Structure 1
Amino acid sequence: MPGVVASAVYADGRRIAEVPIEDVGEWSRKPGHVVWIGLHEPSLDLLRRLQAEFGLHDLAIEDALKAHQRPKLEQYGEALFVVARTAQMLDSRIAFGETHVFVGQGYVVSIRHGPSTSYTPVRERCEASPTALSAGEDYILYALLDFIVDNYMPVIEAIQTEVEEIEDGILAETYTQSRVGRLYQLRRDLLRLRNAAIPLVEVCRRLEQPGLPGIDASLLPLFRDVSDHIRRVQEEIESLREVLAFAFETSLMTGQAQQTEITRKLAAWAAILAVPTAVAGIYGMNFEHMPELEWQYGYAVVLVIIASVCGWLYWRFRQNGWL
């Protein structure tokens, strides 16, 4: 069926069957069974069918149909609805996706929107550990959130590598407009990553608290571990943003210093060229009575004076670091 990536039922942590959407509700109501459904950008018709099978809330269905939701945790009766933002590097830019998760008695439905890594590795990892998977729906929710948060780190590491290269060359090279633009782009992407990741701290904080339906007390430390990972991500993001801010400011100051250096050199050469220009201007005034015009050695003397003054000015400017 279009939009359905996987639809399987588990008992005691072991996969027992692939089930069609029409039968998932019946399987989820069997004691000790959990239906785990993975969807990718499903249609409204498919979501309505799942709503009929599991009794999902209308507001949650509306949110699940549309991307660009803020990360959050909503409780609808005995069911939970979780929104998380995903991130991955595509063509040197951070591509953001979105995952919605329905969790209720006997079922978990994960919905991916936009650029997002498949959750097949999560399913395979859970199936490889039946003891852990036998904990039920709350363990699957933990596994999905842990996978999403862990995938933030490769993005941060890729940016960190580029930032280190920028730091190494920040004073050694001339920063072009495109290079400065890349610094600004990285800072903006990091801000978007921060806005995507940090709200998950509140989501996990609520999952850590006892009292939510379907969340066993024995799994609370696992959600606490996810919170710790998110905080580490936050620290890395803030650190990188500070470094990029420093690099951005330094690049601007370096550019200003380079412009000042060029202006100083142009001023020095203008001063040197002013000497022959002034002399040529004087002798080009076409006055009739100019005694030097009839002097046999006048031309040579003027050239020597011009060369001497220009040479002295050049030496002085070199001494002062202007040339």
Structure 2
Amino acid sequence: MVINCVVYRHGEREEHVNIDEVSDVLKEDKAFVWLGLYQPDAEFMHRLQDEFGLHELAIEDALVAHQRPKIEQYGDSVFIVVKSAHLDDSQRISFGETHFFLGKNFLITVRHGSTEGYKEIRARAEKNHAMLCQGPGYALYCLLDFIVDNYSKITATLSERIGELEDGMFTMRFNNNTLEKVYHLRRELLSLRNAAMPVTEICPQLVRFHEDIIPKNLRAYLRDVQDHAHHVMIDAEDMRETLASAMQVNLALVSVQQSEVNKKLAGWGAILIVPTIIFSMYGMNFPDMPELHTHFGYPAVVAITLIICCVMWWRLKKAHWL
């Protein structure tokens, strides 16, 4: 489906055009077309192939989602695939794809999956006439910058959630629900890292090998996008390591707690074994046991048992077993 198809002349938004009229605009020197699409069908994409002179392999890739992020050159145009991401209502990362066809006087964006629209980005770019007159390269920069900024927002949100987990690490045990959350967080961070990493390779390739499409004054902006993507990649990896460390620390704490419980059980067991042995011995009812016939036999046995138990309790308490 066509979101919009707009002509820009000298950095100014001129008009919406039909696809059949694009070929006339492409012949102009100071004009370019910015076309936005969402999950177009094959018939429409083949129309674009004829109008813009796009390569058939790039058209095939743009029709199918779940492409690997990449940058490829086909003649005078460049085909780019980038993963987009945002947090959905359940605060889980939702990934989509944006495919870019970039030429000297056109930019085509093809969105697939769960992606945010680029209406606000287009409006923001249109306010900067001086940069927009540089051509579609600036529009591409605005979109890449928006995608990477979303990466950064996600890492900031996930960092807060991980901080909450760390704060509660020493006061709670990880139950199955918490472990599941940690596992999904690590998976999402890995996916986010894998989405940001190709951007760090795409931007320098645009700067070095496509000087005819990317003006010199845009290269610093693309390097800035590359730097931000690199930071996202590092932050995502650091947070994954933090979660792994949190799980290891919590498992160690659980092991220590279990050891403390075992020590207490062993200590009380040692204390209780004393009366068990003594009372079981005197419960055998042999008639020739001399202590059974003494007047102070019973209180003496009870007193000795209590003294031994108290001494053992004191020693075990001193050794921090109780």
Distance 1:317 1:182 in 2: 40
What amino acid sits opposite 1:169 in the alignment? G
SS at match of 2:67: coil
Instruction: Give the corresponding residue for 1:234.
Output: 233
Separation (CA, whole Å) in 2 of partners of 1:84 and 1:289: 94
> In the TM superposition, what are the counterparts of 1:159-174 in structure 2 within 5 Å?
159-174=158-173
Q: For the residues of structure 1 that align with 2:236 and 2:63, how far apart are their CA atoms?
A: 30
| 1:219-269, Cα deviation, whole Å (9 max, x unpaired) | 222211211212222332233233333222211211211111111111112
Q: Displacement of 1:138 after TM fit?
A: 0.9
Task: Judge which range, 21-30 or 98-107, deviates more.
Answer: 21-30
The aligned counterpart of 1:252 is 251
- C-alpha distance in 1, partners of 2:146/2:111? 13
Q: Is the 8 A contact 1:79 1:213 kept in 2?
A: no
Question: 2 CA distance for matches of 1:270 and 1:24?
Answer: 88
With structure 2 as the length reference, what TM-score do the two structures score? 0.91
Task: Name which of structure 1's ranges 207-216 and 251-260 shifts more when overlaid on structure 2.
Answer: 207-216
Larger displacement relative to structure 2 (61-70 or 79-88): 61-70
TM-score normalized by the length of structure 1: 0.90
Q: How far did residue 84 of structure 1 move?
A: 0.8
Q: Which moved more, 1:233-242 or 1:52-61?
A: 233-242
Q: Secondary structure of 1:69's partner?
A: coil
Contact 1:13 1:131 in 2 (8 A): yes
Q: Distance in 2 between matches of 1:233 and 1:200?
A: 11
Query: What CA distance in whole angstroms lies between the structure 1 residues aligned with 2:224 and 2:134?
Result: 17
- Report the counterpart of residue 11 of structure 1 in structure 2: 9
Q: Which moved more, 1:273-282 or 1:79-88?
A: 273-282
Relative to structure 1, is the Cα distance of residues 22 and 265 closer, same or farther in structure 2, using a 3 angstrom cutoff? farther
Within-5 A mapping of 1:1-323: 3-90=1-88, 91-323=90-322
CA distance in 2, matches of 1:22, 1:289: 119
Stretches of structure 1 that go unaligned for 5 or more consecutive residues are: none
CA contact (8 A) 1:78 1:213 kept: no
The root-mean-square deviation of aligned C-alpha atoms, in Å, is 2.1
**d(CA) in 1 for partners of 2:74, 2:11:** 26
CA contact under 8 A between 2:196 and 2:230: conserved in structure 1? no
Whether the aligned pair in 1 keeps the contact of 2:9 and 2:31 (CA below 8 Å) is: yes
Q: 1:81 corresponds to which letter in structure 2?
A: F
Cα deviation code 1:64-111 (max 9, x no counterpart): 122222221100000110111122223233222211111123221111
Shift of 1:296: 4.3
Matches of 1:41 and 1:291, distance apart in 2: 99
Can you give the 5+ residue segments of structure 2 that lack an aligned partner in the other structure? none
Q: 1:86 to 1:94 in 2, by over 3 A?
A: same
The alignment of Structure 1 onto Structure 2 pairs a total of residues equal to 321
